[in-house]
């Protein structure tokens, strides 16, 4: 069986200038923008009381993003807010003036017209961009890497986007989208990764993700938890991880929760950077084959990397069986707990937590991050069954069980 690999964060600290991206004020702007959508509602925070008792901790909470805007994933939060910020900037307006009603109005079409938003995706981000473009009367072009699920392709195409599956990996699709946008009149890249010279839109996307973190913080308080002791958050390029880490570091500057960054082992660029320990980025190349399609990204977001270097507690490289374990735990919870339909990229936190608390081979990591009976863990199930066939293979048929590896 492939083993879980991990490293504590001993990276050199920087001046932390990127933390301000996720300031409480910036996240509040994003949240107010999302609240203007008629489809908006706060997604559930599943309180797994019985699971916590079974695992021997005080609390386990899972933010269930399968209910987000009817799109079965959280990614739309980032793409929609980035589009709004871009349009606001083109019109010399504050994003507070650019709500859903304005963005879907005849006045917006008259004042702004149409742009074409280009993106690369493993599924959820592209669907979010396509949906937002469709809602706001804009155009979208979406490129997917080889091996992408047809169900994810179909969901993007249904939103009216021009969508293709290419014979290259995710990172090459990003470069393709950027090149095409540069060659298209009013072409805009809406990508949730950042590189030198392309940082403004990724920062806006991260702020959009902050809506989910802010909702979770409020829901925890309503459940009587002022502050989680631990946050488990997954990473592809790291935009979500940096957004969640950044928000909670701003919310609890004097006692930020212990934050564990989890990646798919086939695409663990942040883990590789943490192992190297010099603060520089590391890339993972090749086909990046993993069941966690949403995490199959080999090149880190530079903005998020800076935030994580300064605030993350540990980086963990997870084999596919960890995600499968989490999917089954959430699908068939302990009696009395709510069920969470969590896809491959959404369930890795639950799988890792179960492994840490039940398997003595994980004792070193468990002790390093200080998991005890008093721990309250917050996780984010970022997608539902976005690949229904594979979801059933894993949850119903037992694919990727530890017995078969």
366 shares its domain with 287: yes
Exposure b/e, 273-302, CB count within 10 A at least 16 = b: bbeeeeeebbebeeebebbbbbbbbbbbbb
Q: Which two tokens mark 376? A: 């309250």
- Burial class from Cβ neighbours inside 10 Å (0-12, 13-18, 19+) for residue 60 reads buried
pLDDT at 403: 53
pLDDT at 404: 47
CA angle 192, 145, 134 (to 5 degrees): 55
374 shares its domain with 251: yes
234 shares its domain with 354: yes
379 shares its domain with 300: yes
Residue that is last in its domain, among 197, 226, 257: 197
338 shares its domain with 318: yes
pLDDT at 405: 39
Residue that is last in its domain, among 197, 226, 254: 197
What are the pLDDT digits (tens) for 9-63?
Answer: 999 999 999 999 999 999 999 999 999 999 999 999 999 999 999 999 999 999 9
What CATH code is carried by the domain that includes residue 161?
Answer: 3.40.50.1100
309 shares its domain with 184: no
Cα(83)–Cα(66) distance, integer angstroms: 22
Of 379, 401, 404, which is closest to residue 55 (Cα–Cα)?
379
pLDDT at 98: 94
- What pairs with residue 46 in β-bridges? 62
pLDDT at 169: 92
387 shares its domain with 373: yes
Residue that is last in its domain, among 160, 177, 197: 197
135 shares its domain with 176: yes
Q: Which two tokens mark 2? A: 């492939």
Residues of the chain below pLDDT 70: 402-405
284 shares its domain with 366: yes
What are the pLDDT digits (tens) for 319-341?
Answer: 999 999 999 999 999 999 999 99
N residues, the chain: 405
306 shares its domain with 175: no
Question: Residue 391 belongs to what domain range?
Answer: 5-73+201-404
The residues that are catalytic are 75, 122
User: How many independent structural domains does the chain possess?
Assistant: 2
């Amino acid at each position: 069986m492939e083993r879980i690999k991990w490293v504590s964060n001993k990276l050199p600290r920087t001046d932390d200038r990127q933390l301000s991206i996720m300031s409480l004020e910036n996240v509040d702007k994003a949240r107010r923008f999302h609240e203007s959508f008629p489809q908006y509602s706060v997604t559930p925070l599943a309180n797994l009381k019985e699971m916590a008792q079974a695992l021997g901790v005080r609390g386990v909470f899972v933010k269930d993003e399968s209910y987000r805007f009817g799109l079965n994933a959280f990614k739309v939060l980032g793409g929609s807010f980035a589009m709004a910020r871009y349009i606001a900037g083109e019109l010399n307006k504050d994003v507070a003036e650019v709500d859903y009603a304005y963005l879907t109005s005849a006045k917006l079409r008259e004042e702004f017209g149409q742009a074409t938003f280009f993106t690369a995706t493993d599924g959820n981000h592209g669907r979010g961009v396509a949906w937002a473009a469709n809602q706001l009367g804009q155009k979208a072009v979406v490129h997917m890497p080889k091996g992408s699920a047809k169900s994810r392709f179909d969901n993007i195409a249904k939103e009216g986007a021009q969508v293709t599956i290419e014979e290259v990996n995710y990172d090459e699709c990003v470069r393709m989208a950027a090149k095409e946008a540069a060659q298209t009149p009013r072409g805009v890249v809406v990508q949730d990764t950042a590189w030198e010279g392309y940082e403004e839109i990724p920062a806006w996307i991260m702020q959009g993700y902050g809506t989910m973190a802010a909702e979770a913080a409020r829901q925890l308080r309503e459940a009587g938890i002022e502050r989680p002791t631990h946050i488990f958050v997954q990473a592809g390029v790291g935009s979500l991880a940096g957004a969640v880490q950044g928000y909670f570091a701003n919310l609890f500057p004097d006692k930020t929760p212990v934050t564990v960054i989890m990646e798919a082992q086939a695409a663990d660029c942040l883990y590789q950077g943490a192992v190297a320990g010099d603060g520089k980025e590391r890339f993972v190349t090749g086909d990046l084959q993993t069941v966690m399609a949403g995490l199959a990204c080999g090149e880190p977001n530079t903005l998020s990397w800076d935030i994580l270097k300064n605030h993350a507690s540990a980086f963990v490289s997870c084999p596919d069986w960890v995600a499968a374990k989490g999917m089954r735990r959430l699908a068939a919870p302990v009696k009395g707990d709510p069920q969470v339909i969590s896809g491959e990229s959404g369930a890795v936190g639950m799988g890792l937590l179960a492994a840490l608390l039940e398997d003595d081979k994980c004792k070193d990591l468990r002790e390093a991050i200080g998991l005890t009976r008093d721990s309250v863990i917050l996780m984010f199930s970022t997608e539902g069954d976005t690949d229904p066939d594979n979801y059933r293979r894993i949850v119903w048929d037992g694919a990727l069980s530890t017995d078969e590896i």
